[in-house]
């Protein structure tokens, strides 16, 4: 009798188990997609960039004439550079030696693929964006997490979340039309579009992410931290400044890193608002050309497979690796530290 019972139970569950098995494994298989995408991105961006590592590259068949990407005053400098280089094309292959040059002139007689000015450009714009955006975002997060009334908080939070929905092309457009004109008239700048304008515009793009992560970090500080502090007689702002803030520092650091990563990879704002001249100077009022904007501006005009194409993919691979490392640090190191601190280890 007991045997029979077990049998019927078995057969019952087995009938269901097939569909269960199918469902679970289909779901598992589909969810593998995101991992597959990462691998595919890695493989295919690097695949197109690999010819750099073996410079057997034949000389590019058609070198389209420099169609200036930059517009207005800003193009003067770069096109002058293009005409002045006329030495023989012995170093056409994108060897590492070529990549470490100090100039970026991909469409001249003797193409130069120096990544340095582009890297400096990216760094310059990103740091400016952090300098403008981070203080505003962190202060706003402090206000809405620690001081604001519930009603006020319910306005600030969604409003800044809405700012995140601004397409970067619209922010770039706003920078190009309004911010650039404003700064030029205020500071009397020679170049309307420059790193400064781009940096300020990009601050709008990173404020939401820095704000959100900082706010999360501040609200994640356990209640007993502030209760203990208040019980000891500290005021509300003393608690905020000397208890909650220090406890949330790793989170704020993570917010900054994420903002940095976001800004470093941002394309459209910089493409539209920085003037796009590949100069390696540290003057923040001169135009810059960033790594991301270079890809965006030049990829449409290169011949598939030639050196220029390969170098652009190499820049993409670099961007991928750099943002990957920054995000990984933010994700693993900082979060782990934050958790540890709250558990009091």
Site for another protein in 138-197 (CB under 8 A): 138-140, 142-144, 147-148, 155-156, 158-174, 176-178
Encoding tokens for residue 100?
A: 């470490």
Residue 191 CB, nearest distance to another protein (Å)? 15
**CA 327 – CA 335 distance, rounded (Å):** 11
Residue 88 CB, nearest distance to another protein (Å)? 31
Residue 110 CB, nearest distance to another protein (Å)? 26
Residues 73-132 that bind another protein (CB under 8 A): none
Q: What are phi and psi of 140, to 5 degrees?
A: -60, -40
Closest CA to 323 of 264, 266, 272, 276: 264
> 28 to each of 24, 31, 35, 156, 286, how far by Cα in Å?
6, 5, 12, 39, 51
107, 295, 311, 338: which one binds another protein (CB under 8 A):
295
Residue 215 CB, nearest distance to another protein (Å)? 11
Q: What are phi and psi of 113, to 5 degrees?
A: -115, 45
Encoding tokens for residue 135?
A: 């203080």
Residues 130, 132, 133, CA angle at the centre, nearest 5°?
A: 65
CB under 8 A: which stretch of 13-21, 76-84, 85-93, 106-114 binds another protein? 13-21
Residues 228-247 that bind another protein (CB under 8 A): 235-238, 240-241
Residues 55-74 that bind another protein (CB under 8 A): 71
Contact 94, 314 (CB under 8 A): yes
Confirm or reject binding of residue 24 to another protein (CB under 8 A). Answer: yes
Confirm or reject binding of residue 44 to another protein (CB under 8 A). Answer: yes
> 262 to each of 98, 160, 251, 309, how far by Cα in Å?
28, 16, 16, 24
Residue 187 CB, nearest distance to another protein (Å)? 19
Question: Which one, 160 or 279, has the nearer CB to another protein?
Answer: 160
Residues 256-275 that bind another protein (CB under 8 A): 258, 261-262, 264-268, 271-272
Encoding tokens for residue 341?
A: 């601190």
- What string marks each residue from 300 to 329 as x (binds another protein by CB under 8 A) or -? x---x-------xx--x--xx--xx-xxx-
Contact 294, 193 (CB under 8 A): no
- What string marks each residue from 202 to 231 as x (binds another protein by CB under 8 A) or -? --x--x---x--------------------
């Amino acid at each position: 009798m007991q045997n029979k019972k077990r049998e019927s139970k078995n057969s019952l569950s087995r009938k269901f188990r097939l569909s269960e098995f199918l469902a679970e494994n289909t779901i598992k298989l589909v969810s593998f997609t995101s991992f597959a995408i990462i691998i595919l991105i890695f493989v295919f961006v690097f695949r197109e960039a690999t010819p750099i590592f073996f410079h057997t590259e034949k000389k590019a068949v058609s070198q389209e004439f420099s169609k200036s990407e930059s517009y207005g005053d800003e193009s003067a400098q770069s096109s002058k550079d293009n005409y002045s280089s006329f030495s023989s094309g012995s170093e056409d292959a994108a060897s590492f030696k070529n990549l470490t040059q100090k100039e970026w002139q991909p469409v001249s007689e003797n193409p130069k693929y120096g990544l340095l000015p582009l890297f400096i450009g990216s760094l310059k714009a990103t740091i400016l964006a952090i300098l403008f955006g981070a203080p505003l975002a962190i202060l706003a997060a402090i206000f809405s997490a620690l001081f604001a009334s519930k009603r006020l908080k319910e306005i600030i939070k969604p409003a800044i979340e809405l700012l995140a929905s601004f397409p970067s092309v619209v922010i770039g457009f706003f920078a190009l039309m309004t911010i650039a004109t404003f700064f030029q008239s205020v500071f009397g700048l020679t170049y309307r579009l420059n790193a400064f304008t781009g940096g300020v515009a990009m601050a709008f793009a990173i404020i939401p992410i820095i704000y959100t992560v900082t706010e999360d970090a501040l609200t994640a500080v356990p209640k007993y931290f502030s209760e203990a502090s208040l019980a000891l007689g500290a005021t509300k702002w003393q608690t905020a400044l000397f208890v909650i803030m220090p406890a949330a520092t790793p989170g704020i650091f993570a917010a900054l890193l994420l903002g940095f990563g976001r800004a470093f990879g941002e394309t459209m704002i910089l493409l539209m608002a920085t003037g796009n001249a590949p100069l390696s100077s540290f003057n923040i009022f001169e135009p810059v050309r960033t790594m991301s904007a270079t890809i965006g501006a030049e990829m449409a005009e290169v011949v598939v497979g030639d050196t220029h194409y390969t170098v652009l993919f190499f820049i993409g691979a670099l961007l991928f690796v750099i943002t990957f490392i920054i995000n990984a640090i933010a994700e693993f190191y900082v979060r782990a530290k934050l958790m540890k601190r709250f558990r009091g280890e």
